[in-house]
Amino acid sequence: MGRESYIKFLWSSTNSHGVHSPFVFAFISQCLYARKAGLTLKEHYTLKRTAIYKNIELLYRILSYFRFSKVMVFADEQAVISDVLRQTAEDDKMKIWFFSPLAPVPGGVDAVYISYKDMATTLTTFEDRLSNIHNNTVYIIDNLRLSPEMEEAWTSIKHHPKVTVTIDTYRMGIVFFRREQNKQHFTVRLSKSILLNAVLGLRNLYGLLH
């Protein structure tokens, strides 16, 4: 993930105002752009120097927004992520149950977090867990732009026949399987910079005039 890649992402991105789906607009504005941080001050201090800090922060925002309880985590840092999410959920009076892939999840899994660094493992994990999803299951895919092959993996996921809506936040991709949604793909910047929004707004205006 380099500067050129991020600039390219920003150039094609939008914020909540560029989204016309009520479901996606509410998710972006009330979850991704929520002011309240998901982690406690202690958790911020413990994790802020680790590579997974921002991942857990965003992951918990999503779980908290939907009030999910049945979760699967597949990552090199699986134990750390699960422990922090469990403790944070308890602090927020929310119970999260972490399930193993060795047995079916009763009623289907609510959320699946996948954080691997290669295409094959990412896609295999994605496919293997589809037997446990329900209509409102959410997948969170990390490392979208770690390498060209991971970008290819994300493209494959977006075009999967069971996927209806995806949101690309640059580092992480969010995947929905809601049958009532039209198939759509959104590129959403997490930055709420007024200057950045103004510059990209002028870009959109230029595009409309030419």
The structure tokens listed for 170 are 């640059």
CA–CA distance, 154 with 26 (Å, rounded to integer): 24
Please count the other Cβ atoms lying within 10 Å of the Cβ belonging to residue 102: 5
Rounded-to-integer distance, Cα 189 and Cα 14, Å: 6
174: phi then psi, degrees, rounded to nearest 5? -115, 130
Closest Cα partner for 68 from 95, 87, 93, 92?
Answer: 95
In order of their start, the domains of the chain are 3-209 (3.40.50)
What string of pLDDT tens digits covers the 210 residues of the chain? Answer: 566 777 787 667 676 666 778 999 999 989 988 876 566 656 665 655 554 667 788 888 899 999 999 999 999 888 888 888 888 888 788 899 999 988 889 999 999 999 999 999 999 999 999 999 999 999 999 999 899 999 999 999 999 999 999 999 988 999 999 999 999 999 888 766 554 555 555 455 434 333
Q: Do residues 59 and 113 make contact, with C-beta atoms less than 8 angstroms apart?
A: yes
From the centroid of its chain, how far is CA 206?
A: 30
